Amino acid sequence: MYRTVVNRILLSGGSRRLPKYPDIRTVISSSRFSTTTQPQTVLNPSGSSTSSSSSTNFQTSSAAGDVPRHERNNPRAEYEGEQARVLQASLRHVIRLGWSEEAMIAGAKEVGISPSIVGSFPRKEAALVEFFMDDCLQRLIDRIDSGEELQNLTPSQRIYKLVRIRLEMQAPYISKWSQALSIQAHPLNVSTSFKQRAMLIDEIWHAAGDETYDLDWYVKRTVLGGIYSTTEIYMLTDSSPEFRDTWLFLDNRVKDAFDLKKTIQEAKYLAEAVGAGMGSSLQVFVGRVLQR
C-alpha cells in the first residue's frame, strides 16, 4: 500500500494527482524538528502544495541517497500514508459494518495500528467515504489513461461507457451505498462531496473529448451531473442481474441528453428563421402603415 501511494505521487505528476482533503488547524508536522530528515517547508493547508512539497522531499531524499524506502525518510507523509492504509483496509469491512467508525476501527486493527487513529480523522465516516470517492476517481483516471477502450466511440457512447465503469466500482458496496449518500449530503460534508463529484464529471467530459470553454461548459457539466446522479440512485433499487436495468436506464438518459441538444439546436434555427421571416413582413407592414 505504501508503494502504490508513493508511486502515484512520483509517477502521476502534479496535474493528475488528486488533492487530498486538507488539514485544518494543523500547526506543525514533526519533521521540522527532527534531525534525521530533510528540512521541510511549513505546512500549508492547501491540498496541492501537500503533494508538491512531498514530491520535492522525495527528490531531495533520493538525491541524498540515504534510505531505499522513501516513506521512511518523510515522516510527514507517513501519518497520511498510515491513514490511507487504515482507510483502504476499512473499505473491506464496509460491506459488513457500513460506512461507520466500527468499520474504521476494524480496518485499523487489521493493519496493526491502534484504533485510536480513527479519532484523528476530522469527520470520521465522511473521511472514509471521501477516500473511497477519491480512490474510484483515481482508478477511473487510470483506466482512461490506459485508454484503448474509448478510441472508436462517439462522444455519447464514451460518456455511457465512462459512467458505467465508474458506477460499477460502487457495485460491491451497493447495499450500504445509501448510507454513503446520506453521509455525503450532511451539511458538514456537502462541500467536499460536491467538489469530488464536480471533478468526476469534469474528468468524464474531458475524456469524452469536450473542448468548449464558454457558457456551454456549465450546461454540459450540469446535464452530465444530472445523468450520473439519477443513475446512481436508480442503481440503489435495481435488483436485476448485473444491474442490467441500470445500464439501460443510463443509455436512455444519455440518448435523451444528446437528443435534447439536437432539439435545442433545431429549435434555435427555427426561431431564427421565423424571426427573420416575421421581421421582413413586419417591416413591410409598418412601412405601409407609416406611408398612409
Partner 1 sequence: MALRLLTRNLRNRISPNLCSASLLHSHATSFGFKEVREEEKSQMVGKVFSNVASNYDLMNDFMSAGLHRLWKDRLVSKLTPFPGMKHLDVAGGTGDVAFRILESINSIRRRALQDPINDDLQEETRIYVCDINQNMLNVGKNRALERGLGEDKSLVWVQGDAEALSFEDNSMDGYTIAFGIRNVTHIEKVLTEAYRVLKRGGRFLCLELSHVEIPVFKELYDLYSFSVIPRLGEVVAGDRESYQYLVESIRRFPPQEKFASMIADAGFQKVEYENLVGGVVAIHSGLKI
Q: Does 126 bind partner 1 (CB under 8 A)?
A: no
Q: Residue from 13, 14, 45, 119 that binds partner 1 (CB under 8 A)?
A: 119
Angle separating helix axes 155-170 and 216-236, nearest 10 degrees: 40
- The three-class DSSP label of residue 12 is helix
- Distance set, CA 43 to CA 48, 60, 73, 95, 188 (Å): 12, 17, 17, 36, 24
Q: Does 118 bind partner 1 (CB under 8 A)?
A: yes
Cα 96 to Cα 175: distance, rounded to the nearest angstrom = 10
Q: What is the contact mask toward partner 1 in residues 22 to 41, using x (rule: CB under 8 A)?
A: -x-xxxxxx-xx--------
Q: Does 71 bind partner 1 (CB under 8 A)?
A: no
Q: Does 213 bind partner 1 (CB under 8 A)?
A: no
Q: What is the contact mask toward partner 1 in residues 83 to 102, using x (rule: CB under 8 A)?
A: ---x--------------xx
Phi-psi region of 25 (alpha: psi -120 to 50; beta: other; left: phi over 0): left
Among residues 186, 177, 134, which one has the least CA distance to residue 22? 134
DSSP string, 73-96: G-HHHHHHHHHHHHHHHHHHHHHH
Q: Does 112 bind partner 1 (CB under 8 A)?
A: yes
Q: Does 5 bind partner 1 (CB under 8 A)?
A: no
Q: Does 105 bind partner 1 (CB under 8 A)?
A: yes
Among 111-119, 165-173, 175-183, 185-193, the segment contacting partner 1 (CB under 8 A): 111-119
**At which residue does the C-alpha cell 534531525 appear?**
35
Q: Which is nearer to partner 1, 14 or 119 (CB)?
A: 119
Q: Does 103 bind partner 1 (CB under 8 A)?
A: no
Residue type, 173: Y
Q: Which is nearer to partner 1, 109 or 261 (CB)?
A: 109
Q: Residue from 6, 91, 94, 117 that binds partner 1 (CB under 8 A)?
A: 117
Cα 219 to Cα 242: distance, rounded to the nearest angstrom = 31
For partner 1, the binding residues (CB under 8 A) are 23, 25-30, 32-33, 75-76, 78-79, 82, 86, 101-102, 105, 108, 112-120, 124
